[in-house]
Amino acid sequence: MTDPSRSYPFGTLVAAMVTPFTSDGQLDLEEAAKLAVKLVDDGCDGLVVTGTTGETSTLTDEENLTMFRVVREAVGGRAKIIAGTGTNDTRHSISLSQRAEALGVDGLLLVTPYYNKPSQNGLRAHFEAVADSTDLPIMLYDIPGRAGVPIATETILRLADHPRIAGLKDAKGDFSAVTRVLANTDLSVLCGDDGLTLPWMSAGAHGVVSVTVHVATAQFRRLVDAALAGDFATARAVHFELDPVIRATMTHLQGAVSVKQILKWQGVLPNSAVRLPLVEPDEQELIPVKADLEEAGWSLPW
């Protein structure tokens, strides 16, 4: 397991947790609590609640806050509860962050403001304004493929000086850029791309914020623990085991769609319901997902 003498403000194996819905599209809070407990029991030491994979963009503020409360009540004290409170409206992000803090979460995930395409000065001002409004540690979330703009390395280096900006979820896929961050800051860097966990940790990242971890928690725990211990032979072997599973969850369908379907096959969730504009996959779309899982040696009741 992780070294207790080191500081991991957001954990090392962090699930980008899905938000379970009932068949008619309402929050399924009982299933959310059960899923949180299972993930922590199986090895996660952090949960991002209502991030991208949690379908935050289709949740109301009250639904987001309810999820923060329910997950904290289920596993608070056993894992870091990181609230996804980033939006593309700074005032809205501040309000949601402060309300999440009042519920007792352990940290905040702030995604790059999307759609607006702010300048780097605008990004810095946005993140600093939210950080100034709370006492919680903040993890920046750099994902230009969704946000439309990257957080430039120079901007991250400057933001790292803020006393409450403590981490980075890196989903930019630029090894040179993340190397500069690791070499020049004390940020707790977590890989934001499941398939890049091994190389990012080889350079000093603390772990991963993962979608695939929902369906392969124990394997990811082994990979992360081995990498943290410097046992890269073991980490590499687990990386190869996980490759087809990661492909199944991350390359054919949107992550929440695929992982909810696999969790249904595994009997963890009662359904694979998502909210529009996401839709559940049809049988044709599931063919490559099944093929990848079969390559991994999985046999599920599909």
CA pair distance 126, 189, nearest whole angstrom: 20
- Which is the catalytic residue, given 8, 80, 114, 141? 141
Catalytic residue among 80, 114, 169, 290: 169
169 catalytically annotated: yes
Quote the CA–CA distance of 211 and 194 in Å, as a whole number. 7
Q: Are 82 and 10 a contacting pair, CB within 8 Å?
A: yes
> In angstroms, rounded to a whole number, what is the distance separating the alpha carbons of residues 71 and 90?
25
33, 70 contact by CB (below 8 A): yes
The answer to whether 114 is a known catalytic residue is no
Half-sphere exposure of 191 (CA within 13 A, CB side): 29
In 68-80, which positions are buried (b, 16+ CB within 10 angstroms) versus exposed (e)? bbbbbebbbeebb
Q: In 3D, which of 123, 208, 195 has the Cα closest to residue 159? A: 123
Which positions are annotated as active-site residues? 141, 169
